[in-house]
């Protein structure tokens, strides 16, 4: 069994909060005012917007991995 310290949980909470902040920033870059099918179809023509979508999806996956692989097991 893994011994979990209070400090470890505090660390994970800080990391997850920071990941959420970054995710919200990326979300605002992609979904405000809204993300439409036209945006999706035009990603190959707008590399800057495509990078914003990639940043959002990467940050979402990172947050999901951190919660699933690190926080939930403890």
State how far the Cα of 51 lies from the Cα of 30, in Å rounded to an integer: 10
Per-residue pLDDT reduced to its tens digit, 18-67: 999 999 999 999 999 999 999 999 999 999 999 999 999 999 999 999 99
pTM: 0.83
State how far the Cα of 65 lies from the Cα of 44, in Å rounded to an integer: 28
Q: Report residue 6's pLDDT band, with 50, 70 and 90 as the boundaries.
A: confident
pLDDT for 5: 85
pLDDT for 68: 96
For 2, half-sphere exposure in the C-beta direction (CA atoms, 13 angstrom radius) is 10
pLDDT for 59: 98
């Amino acid at each position: 069994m893994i011994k979990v310290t209070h400090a470890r949980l505090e660390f994970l909470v800080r990391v997850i909060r920071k990941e959420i902040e970054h995710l919200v920033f990326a979300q605002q870059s992609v979904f405000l005012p809204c993300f439409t099918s036209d945006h999706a179809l035009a990603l190959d023509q707008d590399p800057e917007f495509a990078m914003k979508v990639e940043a959002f999806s990467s940050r979402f996956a990172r947050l999901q991995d951190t919660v699933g692989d690190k926080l939930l097991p403890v």
